[in-house]
Amino acid sequence: ERGKLKEEMVPAVKVDNVVDTTGCGDSFAGGVGFGLLQNPNDYIGAARYGNALGALRTQGKTFAVFKSLEETDRIIQETYF
């Protein structure tokens, strides 16, 4: 607001068993980009998508770890609301 920065913490999405962290940063960035495309002014929502996709990436070595948009939204709802 009026040129001031605002800091807000967006907690991680918890995972029970990390299989592989390769690509987690890329998945986070993709999630943030997707979130900003959905709502360019919602940085917190974008970070939540990033966290969700980064967490999903840890669950295996293939693209099969990623869920549908509906399932990803459910993960976000369960984690943050």
Longest C-alpha distance within the chain, in Å? 44
pLDDT, position 81: 96
The tens digit of pLDDT for each residue in 12-68 reads 999 999 999 999 999 999 999 999 999 999 999 999 999 999 999 999 999 999 999
Question: Is 5 inside any structural domain?
Answer: no
DSSP state of 65: G
Question: Is 14 inside any structural domain?
Answer: no
The number of distinct structural domains making up the chain is 1
Residue whose C-alpha is closest to residue 54's, from 37, 34, 70, 40: 34
The tens digit of pLDDT for each residue in 52-67 reads 999 999 999 999 999 9
Question: Is 45 inside any structural domain?
Answer: yes
Query: How many Å apart are CA 76 and CA 3, to the nearest integer?
Result: 29
Query: How many Å apart are CA 35 and CA 23, to the nearest integer?
Result: 18
